[in-house]
């Protein structure tokens, strides 16, 4: 379907959202929330 | 033969009903927020009381205003599916990294400084009230110009409203629509200030989700799903030329194999340049940075980040995706004289890609609702620009200068002055938007490069580098602003006289720079920006980035005690 370069763009987008969740989870752990 | 369907006469009242309905909701928000708006802090930064959901949505909408649906769809006409990368990096750099790097620190310093504006914060950090006045004045002027461009952008959308397509009818709809919106904006902003504005942001965010989903559904149905999308884009890449149905001249299509179906297929590094500009530009936008001031607490910033990321990735992805779908649709039907005429029209003004597509694939009544919703949502976008512009005058220039002599202006009086500035900004922008003077329309194109020039580098260094000095802020700010203006005039402003003088220089720059946005000659029109050459944002920011640390190191270090305690406080935020 899509070229791999387009998939890569989509993966970066999804990974960014995932990273936001991971960052929050990680800092919450450190802060002991 | 395909006809571009118009919005039918009987559906036009639908537009006005939806628009007026939305404005009524805004008035209700203003009325509701009236009791909560008692001080300048309430009026400009919602009394630092905003929780995660509203903060995240407000941040997202401030970055990706409803204008994205039109503008992003236009970009994707040119870049095809590769435009999805714009969404990816915008969310990564302009939202995730911006929250992580600047969120807590910005909020902390703004509280220490009791700042309600970004220039106040920068002035406090460098202990320089003159720089506050300087950047405040730049922001006041260019934020208003930016507002004019939002208003003027609506006139394109409103061309869809006129069944006859006549210019005079469009002009009347534009005049009535924009005036109505501006007057209601004044009333409810004066009542509700930023609390009302943030509430209306949440409505805009919902409208945008509904908008992009609707266009995707109708769009994909019209091209026959993803297979049709790929077939249409492949057709656009290989068609070569189409015939102008009016003049019967052959029109060369600039797309080449892979240009719409792969990333960086077309124009080489041009798309990358665009991504850089729109992603990092966000770091210098006062209307976005000041969202952090409004956060209730650290938790609001923390979860606001998640709301902003999820919302923005969804909306931005589909906004760009839809632009590619529209492109596919046009080229699936190439050969039809009406469609060919449309394709040429879109090449002349890529912002017409989505509006013309809507008119083609949506039922007339639904298109009327859509146009009303985007028109109304643009007003919401305008509110923040208005408040930032007004505070640039009232806080950063007026109050700043008045209080030098030790005179203290009461909060009640300042609130009144800020409100009067708000009214003045809206009226000035409205008059400019209605008369559309040529110089204002050209200034719109680099309004935000100018704002970022005086803010971005001093702000970022100020948050992370103790050694940064006020003199460095001045030098980098003034040089960046001058470079931005000069670069734009010399290399990117389309004007025969300037073209003649700088022709050779332009050619050299275009040949040697890797970020040249080369889209052929299709976007070159008198008075319009030439989309070739490095963007003035990149050049001016690089100059600022180099000059700031050098000047800092050569000037006297700032007061150690003050800076130390400020940085100590910021460091403690991590705990």
Per residue in B23-32, pLDDT (tens digit) is: 898 889 988 8
Per residue in B396-424, pLDDT (tens digit) is: 999 999 988 888 899 999 999 999 999 99
pLDDT for position B519:
39
Asked if the interface predicted TM-score (ipTM) of this complex is over 0.90, the answer is yes
Q: Do B263 and A28 touch (CB under 8 A)?
A: no
Q: Which of residues 1-33 of A touch B (CB under 8 A)?
A: 1-3, 5-6, 8-10, 12-14, 16-17, 19-21, 23-24, 27-28, 31
Angle at alpha carbon of residue B332, lines to B329 and B337, rounded to 5°? 95
Q: Which of B150-154, B335-339, B551-555 has the highest mean pLDDT?
A: B551-555
Range with the lowest mean pLDDT among A12-26, B341-355, B456-470, B500-514? B500-514
Query: How close does chain B come to A29, measured CA to CA in Å?
Result: 11
Residues of B in contact with A23 (CB under 8 A): 96, 100, 305
B100 has pLDDT over 90: yes
B158 has pLDDT over 90: no
Per residue in B243-294, pLDDT (tens digit) is: 888 888 888 887 888 888 988 654 445 677 778 888 999 999 999 999 999 9
Q: Burial-class residue B166 by CB neighbours within 10 Å (0-12, 13-18, 19+).
A: exposed
Token readout for B495 is 């004007």
Average of per-residue pLDDT across B457-472: 95
Q: Do A27 and B302 touch (CB under 8 A)?
A: yes
Per residue in B126-154, pLDDT (tens digit) is: 999 999 999 999 999 999 998 888 888 77
What is the per-residue DSSP string for B103-128? Answer: HHHHHHHHHHHT-SSHHHHHHHHTT-
B509 has pLDDT over 70: no
* SS3 state of residue B493: strand
* SS3 state of residue B246: coil
Residues of A in contact with B91 (CB under 8 A): 13, 16-17
pLDDT for position B516:
46
Interface test mutation site (partner B, options A8, A9, A10, A15, max chain B beta carbons within 10 A) = A9
How far apart are the C-alpha atoms of B572 and B354, rounded to whole Å?
A: 48
Token readout for B404 is 């030098």
B431 has pLDDT over 60: yes
Q: Do B92 and A8 touch (CB under 8 A)?
A: no
Query: How close does chain B come to A8, measured CA to CA in Å?
Result: 9
Q: Does B254 touch chain A (CB under 8 A)?
A: no
Instruction: Give the chain A residue nearest B258 (alpha carbons).
Output: A3
What is the per-residue DSSP string for B258-322? Answer: TTTTSTT-SSTTHHHHHHHHHHHHGGG-HHHHTHHHHBSSHHHHHHHHHHHHHHHHHHHHHHHHH
Percentage, residues of chain B above pLDDT 90: 51
Instruction: Give the chain B residue nearest A12 (alpha carbons).
Output: B88
Q: Do B306 and A27 touch (CB under 8 A)?
A: no
Q: Does B275 touch chain A (CB under 8 A)?
A: no
How far apart are the C-alpha atoms of B487 and B334, rounded to whole Å?
A: 39
pLDDT for position B325:
97
Instruction: Give the chain B residue nearest A33 (alpha carbons).
Output: B299
- Nearest by CB to A24, which of B81, B91, B305? B305
Angle at alpha carbon of residue B143, lines to B442 and B186, rounded to 5°? 115
Interface test mutation site (partner A, options B309, B312, B320, B328, max chain A beta carbons within 10 A) = B309
Q: Does B226 touch chain A (CB under 8 A)?
A: yes
Token readout for B458 is 């001093």
Q: How many CB pairs under 8 A join A and B?
A: 70
Q: Which of residues 58-117 of B touch A (CB under 8 A)?
A: 81-82, 84-85, 87-89, 91-92, 95-96, 99-100
Range with the lowest mean pLDDT among B202-216, B296-310, B355-369? B355-369
Local confidence band at B16 (pLDDT 50, 70, 90 cut-offs)? confident
């Amino acid at each position: 379907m899509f070229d791999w370069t387009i998939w890569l763009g989509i993966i970066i987008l999804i990974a960014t959202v995932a990273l936001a969740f991971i960052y929050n989870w990680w800092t919450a752990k450190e802060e002991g929330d | 033969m395909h006809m571009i369907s118009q919005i039918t006469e009987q559906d036009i009242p639908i537009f006005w009903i939806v628009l007026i309905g939305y404005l009524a909701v805004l008035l209700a928000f203003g009325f509701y927020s009236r009791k909560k708006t008692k001080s300048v802090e309430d009026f400009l930064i919602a009394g630092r009381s905003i929780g995660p959901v509203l903060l995240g949505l407000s941040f997202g909408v401030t970055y990706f205003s409803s204008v994205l649906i039109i503008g992003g769809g236009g970009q994707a006409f040119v870049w095809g599916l590769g435009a999805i990368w714009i969404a990816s990096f915008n969310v990564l750099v302009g939202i995730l990294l911006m929250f992580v790097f600047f969120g807590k620190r910005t909020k902390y310093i703004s509280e220490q400084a009791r700042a309600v504006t970004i220039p106040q914060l920068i002035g406090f950090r460098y202990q320089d009230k003159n720089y506050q006045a300087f950047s405040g004045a730049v922001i006041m002027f260019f934020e208003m110009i930016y507002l004019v461009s939002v208003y003027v952008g609506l006139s394109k959308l409103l061309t869809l409203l006129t069944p006859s397509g006549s210019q005079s009818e469009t002009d009347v709809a534009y005049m009535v629509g924009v005036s109505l919106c501006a007057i209601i904006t004044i009333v409810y902003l004066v009542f509700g200030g930023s609390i009302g504005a943030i509430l209306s942001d949440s409505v805009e965010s919902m409208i945008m989700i509904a908008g992009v989903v609707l266009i995707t559904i109708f769009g994909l149905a019209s091209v026959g799903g993803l297979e049709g999308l790929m077939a249409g884009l492949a057709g656009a890449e290989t068609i070569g030329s189409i015939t102008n149905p009016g003049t019967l001249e052959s029109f060369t299509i600039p797309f080449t194999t892979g240009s719409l179906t792969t990333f960086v297929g077309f124009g080489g590094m041009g798309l990358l340049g665009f991504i850089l500009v729109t992603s990092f530009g966000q770091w210098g936008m006062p209307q976005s940075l000041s969202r952090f001031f409004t956060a209730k607490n650290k938790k609001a910033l923390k979860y606001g980040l998640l709301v902003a990321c999820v919302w923005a990735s969804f909306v931005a992805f589909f906004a760009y995706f839809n632009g590619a779908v529209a492109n596919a649709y046009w080229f699936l039907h190439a050969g039809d004289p009406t469609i060919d005429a449309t394709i040429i029209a879109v090449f002349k003004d890529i912002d017409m890609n989505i509006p013309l597509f809507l008119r083609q694939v949506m039922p007339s009544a639904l298109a009327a609702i859509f146009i009303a919703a985007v028109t109304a949502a643009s007003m919401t976008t305008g509110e923040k620009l208005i408040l930032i512009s007004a505070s640039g005058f009232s806080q950063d220039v007026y109050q700043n200068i008045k209080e030098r002599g030790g005179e203290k202006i009461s909060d009640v009086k300042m609130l009144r002055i800020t409100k009067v500035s708000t009214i003045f900004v809206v009226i000035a922008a409205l008059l400019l938007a209605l008369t559309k003077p040529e110089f204002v329309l050209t200034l719109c194109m680099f309004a935000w490069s100018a704002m970022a020039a005086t803010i971005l580098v001093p702000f970022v260094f100020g948050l992370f580098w103790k050694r940064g000095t006020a003199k460095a802020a001045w030098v980098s700010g003034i040089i960046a602003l001058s470079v931005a203006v000069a670069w734009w005039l010399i290399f990117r402003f389309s004007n025969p006289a300037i073209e003649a003088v700088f022709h050779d220089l332009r050619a050299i720059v275009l040949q040697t720079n890797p970020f040249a946005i080369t889209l052929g000659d299709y976007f070159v029109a008198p008075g319009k920006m030439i989309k070739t050459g490095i963007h003035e944002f990149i050049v001016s920011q690089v100059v600022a980035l180099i000059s700031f640390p050098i000047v800092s190191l050569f000037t006297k270090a700032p007061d150690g005690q003050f800076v130390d305690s400020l940085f100590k406080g910021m460091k403690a935020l991590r705990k």
